[in-house]
Structure 1
């Protein structure tokens, strides 16, 4: 059965991140994509220049409309903007209880534009994280949620994951892209189990939407996979291929998008 996967996130009109990246990822990985918009952004590959936030009540109306009619097998959550939206999303998920929830706590865009206000951080901790199957923060996001320094190495990542287990209990995929050096390891912590995913850092400017794409890939693959580590491993392979193939695209003058359909589009080299 083809999985129906819902993304709850903001829109990126340049197509590389947010709702657009999620829907491309769902389709590339054989899932049917649905979308609930939390915010409209004015952005491109060079950065975010404006945000219009959707009313929390209308976010809830969108979610209820989808769940009332469609079988939803997994949910990916991205940009939520403010505490009102966080609260409505949490209430809806408590009511509808989807099997898989992947939470990407989007806080700051690569351009430095804040995508989650300060008041919403505590709501994210208290209301949404307990509902998540998996959270996929980068190092600064995880450090902010735990009120801890940003780790500088693998040992620091393990320490942060241990604190996460004690504080939140939910499974964690801690992304190591902010570490320096040639490697970019990710740490999956599920209870007392730890899994390390190594990847060679690819030298490219096309990194727009990588976090959105990875969390969307996990959400699309969870209904198709035997367990969480298998879904994460497959999602990592997909993203690595999408980054490696990004130079086939010529999109924008800043940080370009990854190639979501690198496995499907036939191109002449």
Structure 2
């Protein structure tokens, strides 16, 4: 069994964040581990508060995991302050320098369906500066890609242009979640050599809370299990599609996806 680590915030409703990541890892038959960056007051209707975890315990947590356990992939989610971003980046850079850094999937979380993620100060710039160069692949949505690149991402061509610009910032590959294009859900994968346009049926549903977190976690689990980048993103997209399609009604707002659909079916 492969081991996957999530470095992310906690959504107590379990729909997104670290709790959702752990569900995805388990669904992909990997051993799930997590280092918490922040705790939130959150449900399917919104985000009502956030407290940040002390940077020392974050650094110590990452070090403790790698000192003892072979980590096959890392997923990074919410890193809500410059200090936390620098702490995570420093920890991963030390691992890279020692040859111990596995594949890193970075979800540059700047906004979610339940409302804005509360990033402090220059955190958005810091994510790009400090974490992009350590990432094997990043998974921005169209709005995050637009904010980072300055390109208005609203079609396939603009998404491809944004992906090219994102790759220049240090990451090895990009999976851009474009979203609804002419009634279909479209994602763009780019690794510097080729573009892959991935299209699925557009589902008429409100059960999409945590779908972005789950996608990046699924990519990480697939990479840990030995899949190529291209196959990892293809399988992750298929997993999230089925998770959305089979989602049960949990709350009264934006409902979470069904992480364990393959268990129940």
Structure 2 unaligned segments of length 5 or more: list them. Answer: none
- Hey, what does 2:138 align to over in structure 1? 135
How many residue pairs get aligned? The number is 261
Task: Decide whether aligned partners of structure 1 residues 226 and 110 sit closer, same or farther in structure 2, where only a CA change above 3 A counts.
Answer: closer
**Offset, 1:161:** 1.3
TM-score w.r.t. the length of structure 1 is 0.93
Cα distance in 1, alignment partners of residues 76 and 241 from structure 2 = 21
Could you list the structure 1 runs, at least 4 aligned residues long, displaced by more than 4 angstroms after superposition: none
Rounded Cα–Cα distance in structure 1 between residues aligned with 2:220 and 2:119? 22
Question: Which deviates more, 148-157 or 87-96?
Answer: 148-157
How far, CA to CA, are the matches of 1:167 and 1:45 in structure 2?
A: 34
Q: 1:226 to 1:153 in 2, by over 3 A?
A: same
Which residue number corresponds to residue 39 of structure 1?
38
Kindly indicate whether the alpha-carbon contact (under 8 Å) linking 1:79 and 1:115 is maintained by their aligned counterparts in 2: no
Q: Distance in 2 between matches of 1:54 and 1:60?
A: 11
Q: Which residue of structure 1 lines up, in the alignment, with residue 109 of structure 2?
A: 106
Q: 2:215 matched to 1:214?
A: yes
* Alpha-carbon shift at residue 67 of structure 1 (Å): 1.1
* Superposition deviation, residue 157 in structure 1: 0.6
2:178 maps to: 176
Task: Measure, in 1, the Cα distance between the counterparts of 2:82 and 2:202.
Answer: 35
SS in 2 for 1:174: strand
The runs of 5 or more residues in structure 1 that have no matched partner are none
How far did residue 42 of structure 1 move?
Answer: 0.3
User: Aligned residue for 2:19?
Assistant: 20
Q: What secondary structure, in the 3-state scheme, does the structure 1 residue paired with 2:109 have?
A: coil
Q: CA RMSD in A?
A: 1.3
**Change in CA separation of 1:226 and 1:12 when aligned onto 2, cut-off 3 Å:** closer
- The answer (yes or no) to whether the contact 2:114–2:209 under 8 Å persists in 1 is no
User: In the TM superposition, what is the alpha-carbon distance from 1:180 to its structure 2 partner?
Assistant: 4.6
Q: Which residue of 2 aligns with 1:188?
A: 189
Query: Is the 8 Å Cα contact of residues 26 and 220 (structure 1) preserved in structure 2?
Result: yes
- The answer to whether the 8 A contact 2:3-2:224 is kept is no
- Aligned partner of 2:229 in structure 1 is 228
- Corresponding residue SS for 1:222: helix
> How far 1:167 sits from its partner (Å)?
3.6
So what's the TM-score if we normalise by structure 2? 0.95
Would the alpha carbon gap of residues 111 and 221 (structure 1) be closer, same or farther in structure 2, given more than 3 Å must change? same
> 2:255 is paired with a residue of what secondary structure?
coil
Against the structure 1 CA distance between its residues 63 and 76, is the aligned structure 2 distance closer, same or farther, given a 3 Å change threshold?
A: same
Work out whether 1:125 is the aligned partner of 2:124.
Answer: no
